[in-house]
Structure 1
Amino acid sequence: MDSSLYVLVEDLRGEGVEKVLDRVRGYGVAGITVGAVHHESRDITPHGLSKLTLRHDGAHFDLPGDLFAELRLVPPAGYTDAFDGLLDACRARGLKVHGRTVFLRNGTLGAQHPDVSVRNCFGDRGFPTDLCPAHPEVRQYAVALARSVARLGVDSVVAEGLHYRPLKAERSFVPLGPMDAYLMALCFCDFCMARASDLGVDAGMAREECARIVGGLLEGDAPAEGEVTRAALTAYAGPDVVGYARARCATVTSLVSQVADAVASEGSRLVFVDPTGAVKGYRDGLPSPVLAAYDGWQLGVDPVALSDLMLSFTVLAYARDATRVADDVDAYLRSVGKDRQVRAVLRPGYPDSDSADRLTAKVHGARAAGAHAVDFYAYGLASHPVLDRIPHALS
């Protein structure tokens, strides 16, 4: 069974490439998934050179001039020497190298160019981190970024953030139900609305309904109860909003198609990361009952449509329960087809795995459900005793 350990470039720089790779090899995994393009974050790093690591938006390699010379959107420069000798060092140890690429989560670009970020039903562009998948320049940027990472010679380009994102307000003293938060996260920029209109959706009516419902909530109406489903959304917001949600899936599918073709043109392959499992279980490893494969549409992810475009998918199986992990993998394979490859990403420690036995049970569950690979997230974020669970889990 294939496997990989996620590693970020700050981990490699802080502890040293040779030291990290020797440890990785000792865990028994088949390779690393290294953050070639990452987003800003502030992380506790238990065994890092710094115990609190600040990561910045950036591409950790030299950008090919021919791909970005004519583009307005250019990723900030990170540690551009991060890949110098890395592939050779990995292959000398028999390790594969996958290039993790965060595409549309980039607060630096969103702040520099607000017009490429999402715009809600009130006209607000309050999320500079979220670049809109429908914007033509964002799509050009994603294609150039994909080709750049593929040119590094990685075994695959692991595509993260190639979709819409949920609402994440830092503070809200107004209670938002799940459906209200979903409506407030919908992008109504000119390009999203035009794409929806081309598919026969009354995009203007969808925006008005969202503004009416969320506006009432902000003025004191009670929040909606229950989880977001298409049936509940139809009853709550009407068919135009549901049609608008379907149009988002078409937008994401067409973007993924362009990116997959770009990666293939450079001799590599794209692995699409569906983050729905993380959205549902990130905080505590206790996801809501609906399986991730069936809630991806909320982010514009349509696994069935995407299965016509590519071979490999990654499921973020952020759950404490081994049965839930197996069910999520099985549901995804049912959606994309048993002939497709599904990789399950597990967190080896807090908050999902409180013991080596629990992690082992989840690895075995993913395997039994048909997972092609099990990956682990992430080297720099877990303590050494937690990482030491991986060899036992893979045995």
Structure 2
Amino acid sequence: TVCLHNTRLGMLHPQAVTRNAFGDANYYNLCPSHPDARAYVRALVADVTHSYRPDRIELESPSFMGFAHEYHHEKDGVGLTPEDDFLLSLCFCPSCLARAAGAGIDGEAARKRVGQWIVETCERAVPERRFPDFPASGLDAFLPWPELHAYLIWRFEPVTSLVAELREVAHPATKVVIIDLKDGWLGGCDLAALGKVCDGAILCAYDMQAGDVASLMAAGRATLGSEKFLGAGYRLFYPEMAAPDILAAKVKPALAPDVDGINFYNYGLVPAARLDWIGGALPV
């Protein structure tokens, strides 16, 4: 179930979308801090789970989204670095600033810092890394700027509390799991915190080799604990999955006993002939 990734609703309700440090709207991303966006997703999850009683509902994008996310005719002539993309994705909409202020966080100071850095990026003749180790360095890269670091830590709260509300409104018999990425913290997802308020997670093993998938699953299980659902998500896109044996090798780590399920994305976007590879990658 797609939660906050909705360009149509964003265009119809621009007051409810994420906005960067300059107030520019990201119409594809409803903001997890905005009351109307939260009410919409609660109603969606309640309707689906109470009307159809699925065994499990999977929450896609209940969070902040990246800047480079296929906006119409998207172009980058600047040469944005990974940290630039992250900074441009940060939301400073009125709802975020008000919610952060309620938690004692100076979001306006963070907004000014981010805006200054983005301006500097756009004034350079060629790209220059501000944080060469980003995103591997995580949020620790921002520790020298306390107001910004505090805002980035606070950013987990709207996402975690929204997922908690979705678990509350969902039918009790339906498990609620999130779909997350290896670096989900970029979008405000704290897997440990989310695991405490929902029933588990599907971790996307996109662009990963088999060894990396094994590490991702091990880390996910350690974070979620033994009682929560843990699934692996794969894309069937070419050239990421260029042959049946490549798919089988990457899927193999997810066949471990402590992994509860496997998702393949997306049946509607790949040739039927490639779907046949799935059978060979799974045990009979």
Q: Same fold (TM over 0.5)?
A: yes
Alignment of 1:168-207 (within 5 A): 168=68, 170-207=74-111
Tell me the residue number matched to 1:373: 261
Task: After superposition, give the CA deviation of every residue in 1:2-45 in whole Å (9 maximum; x if it has no partner).
Answer: xxxxxxxxxxxxxxxxxxxxxxxxxxxxxxxxxxxxxxxxxxxx
Q: 1:342/1:351 Cα in 2 relative to 1: closer, same or farther (>3 Å)?
A: farther
Q: TM-score, normalised by structure 1?
A: 0.66
Check if 1:102 corresponds to 2:2: yes
> What amino acid does structure 1 have at the position aligned with 2:34?
H
- Which residue of structure 1 aligns with residue 150 of structure 2? 243
Q: Quick check: 1:271 aligned with 2:271?
A: no
Q: 1:264–1:153: structure 2 CA closer, same or farther, 3 Å change rule?
A: closer
Which of 208, 217, 222 does residue 329 from structure 1 map onto? 217
Query: Is the Cα contact below 8 Å between 1:326 and 1:369 reproduced in 2?
Result: no
Match of 2:279 in 1: 391
- Aligned AA for 2:242? D
- 1:259 aligned onto 2:154: no
> CA separation in 2, counterparts of 1:349 and 1:244?
36
Match among 119, 144, 169 for residue 43 of structure 2: 144
8 A Cα contact 1:320 1:353, kept in partner = no
User: Does structure 1 retain, via aligned residues, the 8 Å contact 2:191–2:223?
Assistant: yes
C-alpha distance in structure 2 between counterparts of 1:177 and 1:225, whole Å: 9
Check whether the contact 1:348–1:389 (CA below 8 A) recurs between aligned residues. Answer: no
SS across alignment from 1:171:
coil
- Where structure 2 has 5 or more consecutive residues not aligned to the other structure, the ranges are none
Question: Where in structure 1 do 4 or more consecutive aligned residues deviate above 6 Å?
Answer: none
Shift of 1:225: 4.4
Structure whose CA Rg is larger: 1
Alpha carbons 1:346, 1:375 under 8 Å: kept:
yes
1:211 counterpart = 2:115: yes
Q: Deviations over 1:49-93 (max 9, x none)?
A: xxxxxxxxxxxxxxxxxxxxxxxxxxxxxxxxxxxxxxxxxxxxx
Match of 2:20 among 120, 123, 128: 120
Aligned residue for 1:234?
A: 143
Contact persistence 2:66–2:187 (CA under 8 A): yes
Equivalent residue, structure 2, for 1:342: 230
Q: Which amino acid aligns with 1:112?
A: L
Residues 42 and 165, structure 2, Cα contact 8 Å, conserved in 1: yes
> Which residue identity lines up with residue 192 of structure 1 in the other structure?
C
TM-score (norm 2): 0.90
**Residue 312 of structure 1: which of 196, 200, 209 is its match?**
200
Give me the identity figure in percent: 33
- Structure 1 residue 348: Cα displacement: 3.8
Hey, what does 1:159 align to over in structure 2?
Answer: 59
1:336 positional shift: 1.5
CA distance 1:201–1:370, change in 2 (3 Å): same
Matched-pair contact (CA < 8 Å) for 1:117–1:132: yes
Contact 1:347 / 1:376 at 8 angstroms: preserved in 2? Answer: yes
Instruction: Give the number of aligned pairs.
Output: 273
Q: Distance in 1 between matches of 2:192 and 2:147?
A: 22
**Superposed displacement of residue 136, structure 1:** 0.5
- Counterparts of 2:108 and 2:276 in 1: how far apart (Å)? 54
Question: What aligned pairs does 1:41-56 form with structure 2 within 5 A after superposition?
Answer: none
1:364 to 229, 232, 252: 252
Asked whether the 8 Å contact 1:133–1:164 carries over to 2, the reply is yes
Equivalent position amino acid for 1:321 in 2: Q
Distance 2:11 2:188 in 1: 23
Deviation digits for residues 182-203 of structure 1 (CA, Å, limit 9, x no counterpart): 1121110111112222222211
- Unmatched segments (≥5 aa) in structure 1: 1-100, 277-291
**Deviation, structure 1 residue 332:** 1.3
223-232 or 332-341: which moved more?
223-232
Structure 2 distance, partners of 1:378, 1:164, is 22
Preserved CA contact (<8 Å) 1:118 1:130? yes
Whole-angstrom CA distance in 1 between matches of 2:142 and 2:83: 7
**Shift in Å at residue 319 of structure 1?**
2.6
Q: Is 2:139–2:152's contact at 8 Å kept on the other side of the alignment?
A: no
Deviation by residue 1:143-185 (Cα, 9 ceiling, x = unmatched): 0000111122322211111000011161121122211221121
Compute the displacement of 1:320 (Å): 4.5
**What displacement does 1:120 show?**
1.0
